[in-house]
Structure 1
Amino acid sequence: MSVLICVLAYLIGSLGFGIIYSRFRGEDIRQKDAPGGSGVYRQYGLTAAILVSVLDILKGVLAVGLAQQFAPEVAWLAAGLVVLGHNFPVFFRFDGGGGIAPLLGALLVHAPQTLLVALGLTAVAIPVYKFVLQKHVKFNVLPAISVMVLPVVLVYAYLQQSGFLALLAIVVAMALRIPFSLKP
């Protein structure tokens, strides 16, 4: 059952709703923008972005929820695999998004307190970074915030025994995407 749940988590993650939405519109968003909520917002507007974001979050909820129900010993791995599927979707030539929305859904189910800590720290760190550090450091917000917040959240998850392995699996899945997102 564990192997089936892991495969299912990856396949659920591979449903790239931004790509699917853009194809219904007769396009492939990846030709113009990122296939996640922010790219969909820039290309198709707020309503489409909300729809895609909610569906991508629900992928994480569904994958981890199924794992917790039928194979709880691999729920942490299902969290990483749903993000891996989102980033490298088998249905779309392994060219997907960044994984933030399914990360939110996976942690919402698997480790909600860790998710709250991560969101809280991010909410504090973004304005501090944008108004104090960005003009000196000159990195985009998300990579910089990740470097600042992620170590703290990992330590919290480890000490509280709240989703450490799931968070680690997600971080690995997202880190694998980095070389592919550095297109010239």
Structure 2
Amino acid sequence: MPALLLVAAASYLLGSLVAGVLYSRVLGEDIRGRDLPGGSGTYRQYGVGAAILVTVLDILKGALAAGLALHFTPQATWVAMLGVVLGHCYPVYFRFRGGGGIAPLLGALLAVAPITLAGMVAAGLLVIPLYRATVQSRVKLNALPFATAIAVPVGLLLATRYGGLADLLAGGAAMAVRAGHLLARPPHRPAPGSGL
């Protein structure tokens, strides 16, 4: 039990190190005033190089949290998944205002369920160009939610066979809570050309 609590706390604290917020603070700003602090928000605010850096750092913290769990509580890696994603979404260091949790989820899955992750990513990458070429112009919905709607069931199917089901469910639950919160209270984004 102490190991489980240690992994949960360490994973949450790791998750709370939101790279997008840290990056913007180095520049004397806070990205959360304009956008979400994940890879896509960082891309919109600071460009591709910053987005890659932020995404890689957030993936690494997910993998590190999962690595801790694999070492101390290999039977309960889902605790690390839940902790790191919750920390990213609701970071204790940044007034509980973080990102959506995708990158730390990917990093943790990379460590505990790489086959499941590979299948999900492959499904998403196959669906996005097909969606854009066929129905996006009529539906007017970004490709990412559509690809996610396909990739998640694929991931759940693979997880039942190759492992990572509890991890995927724990991380997905944390992300669902954050998504609901963001839908209820979307972050303020200034209009284009407003100078911010």
- The residue that corresponds to 1:103 in the other structure is 105
Which has the higher mean CA deviation after the structures are superposed, 22-31 or 141-150? Answer: 141-150
Which has the higher mean CA deviation after the structures are superposed, 91-100 or 134-143? Answer: 134-143
Per-residue CA deviation, residues 5-55 of structure 1 (Å, 9 max, x unaligned), is 111111100111100110111110011112011211222222222221111
CA offset at residue 139 of structure 1? Answer: 2.2
Say whether the 8 Å CA contact 1:6–1:74 is kept in structure 2.
no
SS in 2 for 1:176: helix
- The residue that corresponds to 2:11 in the other structure is 9
CA offset at residue 58 of structure 1? Answer: 0.5
Q: How does 1:48-87 map to 2 (within 5 A)?
A: 48-87=50-89
Per-residue CA deviation, residues 77-124 of structure 1 (Å, 9 max, x unaligned), is 211221111111111111111111111110110000001100110110
CA offset at residue 172 of structure 1? Answer: 0.4
Under a length normalisation based on structure 2, what TM-score does the superposition of the two structures give?
A: 0.88
- The residue that corresponds to 2:192 in the other structure is none
Instruction: State the Cα RMSD in Å.
Output: 1.3
For structure 2, the 5+ residue unaligned runs are 189-196
- The residue that corresponds to 1:89 in the other structure is 91
Q: How many residues align?
A: 183
SS in 1 for 2:135: helix
- The residue that corresponds to 1:119 in the other structure is 121
CA offset at residue 74 of structure 1? Answer: 1.9
**AA partner of residue 139 (structure 1):** L
In structure 2, how many angstroms separate the alpha carbons of the residues matched to 1:172 and 1:141? Answer: 22
Which has the higher mean CA deviation after the structures are superposed, 123-132 or 141-150? Answer: 141-150
**AA partner of residue 9 (structure 1):** S
In structure 1, how many angstroms separate the alpha carbons of the residues matched to 2:139 and 2:158? Answer: 26
- The residue that corresponds to 2:164 in the other structure is 163
- The residue that corresponds to 1:142 in the other structure is 144
- The residue that corresponds to 2:175 in the other structure is 174
- The residue that corresponds to 2:194 in the other structure is none
In structure 2, how many angstroms separate the alpha carbons of the residues matched to 1:54 and 1:100? Answer: 12
In structure 2, how many angstroms separate the alpha carbons of the residues matched to 1:156 and 1:136? Answer: 31
Aligned residues: percent identity? 52
Under a length normalisation based on structure 1, what TM-score does the superposition of the two structures give?
A: 0.94
